[in-house]
Structures are given as C-alpha cells and as structure tokens.
Amino acid sequence: MKLVLALGLASFVGGTAQAYDASCTATEVHDTSYLEESLSVEEYPEVTVSSDEVGLGASVYSINDGDQILLRPSVGFKTTIEVVHASGEVSFFININNGPGGKTGTLWGQNKGEESSLIADLVCD
C-alpha cells in the first residue's frame, strides 16, 4: 500500500496522521549517474525529507512541481520514502533504518523499466 500525499508527508497510525521528517548525510556515494554532480560526500551530502519536498543533495523534488512523494508504511524499524519525478521516468527510494544502533539509511535510484541501483549510504539524525 502506498500513500500519495498532496499536502505533505504523513503516516497514519491508529487513525492519526503523523508527519515524517528526516535529515540524512551521505557517507559514501556509489552511483553518480542518477544525480550527477548534485549529490556528493564533500559538497552536497544532505538528503532531507519535509512536508512537501525531498532534497537529494542540490536537487529538490517537490509536490508543487508535480513530483510524487510516497511514504510506505514502516516495517519493523525500516521506513521507505519513494520520490517519483513528475515525468514518471525515474524514482528514488530513501530507506531509513531506525534501529537500536542509530539511524542509518540508503538512497536508491531506478529508471522506469530497469533494475534499481544503490546511489549512496546515509547516516540520519
């Protein structure tokens, strides 16, 4: 089940909407082909999720620009945020693990009809 959120990013727990914000930093970039020079460990390491946009380094994806931001229900300690570009040709997946060892994550990219690729490892606040 996916939730398409037009007014922000929220999860529904017990019938109550809860906002989901995240702030992460790329610790290693594995694949530069998706975000080219807009995500790097040295210059643009931030990956952020807010109510109406997702920042991937210097790139910003916003519901105001027609991009879709989807929050997948949490499974155990894992939360996944999916970002679908307005063109529908590329998607990004931010997986955040809120385990007892601290928050870590991964950023994946997928072109339509292709296998997904690990873009970066993340550490989150």
Q: Give the other-Cβ count within 10 Å of 47's Cβ.
A: 26
Residue range 26-69, pLDDT digits in tens: 999 999 999 988 999 999 999 999 878 999 999 999 999 999 99
Single pTM value for the model: 0.83
Distance between CA atoms of 45 and 122, rounded to whole angstroms? 9
pLDDT score recorded for residue 49: 93
Characterise 21 by phi-psi region: left (phi > 0), alpha (psi -120 to 50), beta (else): beta
Output the pLDDT for position 14: 36
Of the listed ranges 5-9, 32-36, 66-70, 83-87, the least confidently predicted one is: 5-9
Rounded to whole angstroms, how far apart are CA atoms 88 and 96?
23
Answer yes or no: is pLDDT of 100 > 60: yes
- Please state, in angstroms and as integers, the Cα–Cα distance from residue 122 to each residue in 25, 33, 41, 53, following that order: 5, 18, 10, 18
Domain spans in the chain, listed from the N-terminal domain onward = 21-88+96-124
